[in-house]
Amino acid sequence: MGGTAKSVLIVTAHPEPASFNQALSTRAASALRAAGHQVVLSDLCAEGFDPAAGWHDFTAAADPDRFHYQSEQANACRNAGFAPEIAREQARLEAADLLILQFPLWWGGPPAILKGWIDRVMAYGFAYVDGARFGTGLFRGRRAVLSVTTGGTPARFAPDGVYGPIDAILRPISRLALDYMGFEVAPPFVSHGVPRISAEDRAALLEAWAAKVTALAALDPPPGERPADPLSLVPEGAWSRA
Amino acid sequence: MGGTAKSVLIVTAHPEPASFNQALSTRAASALRAAGHQVVLSDLCAEGFDPAAGWHDFTAAADPDRFHYQSEQANACRNAGFAPEIAREQARLEAADLLILQFPLWWGGPPAILKGWIDRVMAYGFAYVDGARFGTGLFRGRRAVLSVTTGGTPARFAPDGVYGPIDAILRPISRLALDYMGFEVAPPFVSHGVPRISAEDRAALLEAWAAKVTALAALDPPPGERPADPLSLVPEGAWSRA
C-alpha cells in the first residue's frame, strides 16, 4: 500500500473558521489531495457536534432503567442503533487509513468538543472490546497523528519548563486512547505560541505540517487489520460486567 | 479558618444517577454537611451543562467577526456578559474554599462534559490572567481535589502497568489546570476497577472518601487570596494579543 492512495480523516476542533487550527487542517487537506489521497474533514464546531455522552447517543435503549454506557454502546453496535451523528463519524473513521486530530491545547488537553468526539464515537464494540488493546487493538493497521497549537512558548514545554514536555501532556490521548485502540501513533506536530509568532513562522509551520502529513500518508500501513465483527471477539454479555 | 465552616463545591460528571460516582459525591456532601460545612453540588449531566465553547458563552460579542475566546471572555468579565449557566458556575466556584471534581476516567481524562466545564467556566479574567499562574494564580488560598473512578485494575496503573501511574495521567487537569489557577491540589482519591469490586469494597471506598474530604475541609486555608478584580492585574488590552 506504500505510495498508493489512502483515506485520511481530519478532525478539527476550533470554534473560529479563521483560526490557525483551521488553516493547518485546510493546508493538510490540500497537500494530501494533491498527492492523490482522499480526505474527509470533520469540523466539529462547524457541524455543531454535541460532546456530551448520554441517551441521545442511541436510537433505542438496552436498559432504560440504568445508563450503563458500554452496555448501551455494545447494544447499538449489534443493532445499528447509534444516533446519526455518531454513526456518521464512525463510518468516517472506519474508512480512514490515517486519522489526524487537529486542536488547540486548552487546559492541557483537547477542547471538550473533541474529547466528546472520542468519548462518544470511540464506542465499546466499535473502537475497543475486552482483551483487544494496544498491540491487539481494533485499529491495528492504521496510523494517527496529533497536530496541536499552544499559546505557551517552547520554553514552558521544556523538560524544566512550568508545563513540562508536550509528550507527557498528550499522553492520555496518544497512549490511553489512540494507542490503546491499536493506532500506530506518530510523534505530534506542535505549533508553539501561535498567537504571537510572525506570519513567516506561521507559513513555515503550515508547510512543515503539509510535508509531515504527506510523508505519513505515503508510508506502508503498519501490520494488522481491523476485525470485521469486533464484538465476536468477546463472549456474549462480557461487556455488561464492565 | 482551620476547623471553621468552609464552602465546598462538588462538580460531578456521570450520566447515571445510580452510578458510584454519584454515590461518592452524595457521601462526600453528607459527611461535609455533618461536619458543619456548606456544600453546593454541580451535577453537570443532570443540569444538562453544555460542554462546547462558542458564542453561546456570552450575551454579547466584543468582536462578532472573529471568535477570539480569551478576548471575548475578558469582555464578558468586564461587562457581566457571561451566559447564565457560566455565570452560575463561576459564582459557585468563587464562593468555594474547596473544589471537588468527581468523575470517571474516560480515555485518560474527564468526560467531555467536565472538560467543557473547565474550558468554559475557567475563563480568562475570571480563572487566570497573564502573569498570574501557579504560585501567583487567582485561586490561591483555595484547595482542590480530584476523585476518580477507573474501570482498570490497580495493576494497570502501576509504574510498569500498561497505563502507568495515575498521577501522570491526571497531570493535565491537576497541574496544567487546577495548579495553574493557584489551587492547592491534594493527592487524588482513586477508586479502581469499581465495576468489578464487591459491595464491601465499595462501602469502604465511600467511607475513606468521606474521611478524606472531611479532613481536607478541616485544614487551614493555604496562603494567598483571590484578587477582587483580576483583570486590573494586566495592562488594558493585554489579553487581545493572546
Which ipTM value was assigned to this complex?
A: 0.96
- Distance, in Å, from the CA atom of A101 to the CA atom of B182, rounded to the nearest integer, reads 30
| Cell matching residue B107 | 480515555
pLDDT at A131: 87
Tell me the pLDDT band of A48, cut-offs 50, 70 and 90: very high
How high is the mean pLDDT of chain A?
A: 94
Between A and B, how many CB-CB pairs are < 8 A?
145
Predicted confidence (pLDDT) at residue A236 exceeds the cutoff of 90: no
The single-letter code of the amino acid at B193 is G
- B203 three-state secondary structure: helix
Nearest chain B CA: its distance from A52 CA (Å): 5
Domains observed in chain A: 7-225 (3.40.50.360)
Predicted confidence (pLDDT) at residue B241 exceeds the cutoff of 60: no
Q: For A18, which of B66, B120, B242 is closest by C-beta distance?
A: B66
Say yes or no for a CB contact (<8 Å) between A53 and B113: yes
- Distance, in Å, from the CA atom of A58 to the CA atom of A50, rounded to the nearest integer, reads 13
Say yes or no for a CB contact (<8 Å) between B67 and A169: no
Element (H, E) at B191: strand B189-191
Predicted confidence (pLDDT) at residue A242 exceeds the cutoff of 70: no
Nearest CA-CA partner of B102 in B184, B210, B7, B195: B210
- Distance, in Å, from the CA atom of B230 to the CA atom of B219, rounded to the nearest integer, reads 26
pLDDT at A8: 98
Say yes or no for a CB contact (<8 Å) between B115 and A118: no
- Distance, in Å, from the CA atom of B18 to the CA atom of B15, rounded to the nearest integer, reads 9
How high is the mean pLDDT of chain B?
A: 94
Residue of A nearest to B113 (CA): A52
Tell me the pLDDT band of B238, cut-offs 50, 70 and 90: low
- Distance, in Å, from the CA atom of B99 to the CA atom of B174, rounded to the nearest integer, reads 12
Q: For A54, which of B15, B172, B175 is closest by C-beta distance?
A: B15
Nearest chain A CA: its distance from B216 CA (Å): 25
pLDDT tens-digit map of B69-93 = 999 999 999 999 999 999 999 999 9
Regarding beta strands A143-149 and A189-191, do their DSSP bridges make them parallel or antiparallel, or are they unpaired?
A: parallel
Say yes or no for a CB contact (<8 Å) between B49 and A49: no
Tell me the pLDDT band of A110, cut-offs 50, 70 and 90: very high
